[in-house]
Amino acid sequence: MSRTPTPAPQLEAVAVEGLSRGAFLLRGALATGAVLGGSAVGPFVRRALAQEGGDVDVLNFALTLEYLEATFYSRAIREGRGLGADTRRLVREIHDNEVAHVDALRGTIKQLGGRPVDAPKVGFGDVFTNRRRFVGLAQTLEDTGVSAYNGAAPQIRSSEVLAAAGSIVQVEARHAALIRLLNGETPAPSAFDAALAEKNVLDAVTPFLKS
């Protein structure tokens, strides 16, 4: 089930600033993706979340990721150049979904008696000035997001929370497929998402686990 990882260097353009554990984890996940490829992010996240924390910790990580995506698309809507009508329509729809995910995750965290983390400060370099680069990064972020959710979900204890995470990741996967089609790529690059074996990832990401 494992496959050769392909690095995603465009993830280096993504900056995440914040002091929450979710922000630290997300930085580690993106760095892992930049070095080893999106399929390495799932095992990284799974390992990192296994070290401590409960469902609130997992949800706050997911929330941080959704903040990043929501901001990414909101900036694309405002600043994107030459997107074209079809892309713009899809970007708006995806943006609305990410905002709904943020709201749902915040609500769930509060329901569990936890405190939702604040949105991190994020930067994306100058990708919005160029359609090709924007859609390229969107694809990498969506694929990485799917992998991150798939990695985080097995740590979830509550069946209700797991069901909620599942209903979100399925929509993230649909985003990923549609963005890939925009790029003229196959919607599913592999028969298994984030199937890279955990042991292949561990050595390379151990430094990030300490943060």
Residues that bind other proteins (CB under 8 A): 1, 42, 46, 90, 93, 96-98, 100-101, 104, 146, 149-151, 153-155, 157-160, 162-164, 166-178, 180-181, 186-188, 190-195
Our CB check for other proteins shows the closer of 75 and 174 to be 174
CA angle 15, 177, 164 (to 5 degrees): 75
Rounded distance between C-alpha atoms, residue 141 and residue 146, angstroms = 9
The distance of closest approach from Cβ of residue 148 to other proteins in the complex, given in angstroms and rounded to an integer, is 11
The distance of closest approach from Cβ of residue 192 to other proteins in the complex, given in angstroms and rounded to an integer, is 4
DSSP state of 207: H
Our CB check for other proteins shows the closer of 18 and 139 to be 139
Our CB check for other proteins shows the closer of 9 and 192 to be 192
Our CB check for other proteins shows the closer of 18 and 91 to be 91
Q: How far apart are the first and last CA of the chain?
A: 30
Contact partners, residue 4, CB within 8 Å, separation at least 6? none
The distance of closest approach from Cβ of residue 170 to other proteins in the complex, given in angstroms and rounded to an integer, is 4
Our CB check for other proteins shows the closer of 129 and 190 to be 190
The distance of closest approach from Cβ of residue 19 to other proteins in the complex, given in angstroms and rounded to an integer, is 28
Using the Cα atoms of residue 76, residue 78, residue 79 and residue 85 in order, give the sign of their dihedral.
positive
Rounded distance between C-alpha atoms, residue 43 and residue 208, angstroms = 13
In 164-190, which positions are buried (b, 16+ CB within 10 angstroms) versus exposed (e)? bbeebbeebbebbbbbbebeeeeeebe
The distance of closest approach from Cβ of residue 27 to other proteins in the complex, given in angstroms and rounded to an integer, is 23
The distance of closest approach from Cβ of residue 64 to other proteins in the complex, given in angstroms and rounded to an integer, is 17
CB-based contact 144:32 (threshold 8 Å)? no
Our CB check for other proteins shows the closer of 33 and 151 to be 151
* Dihedral in degrees, nearest 10, Cα atoms 12, 13, 14, 19: 70
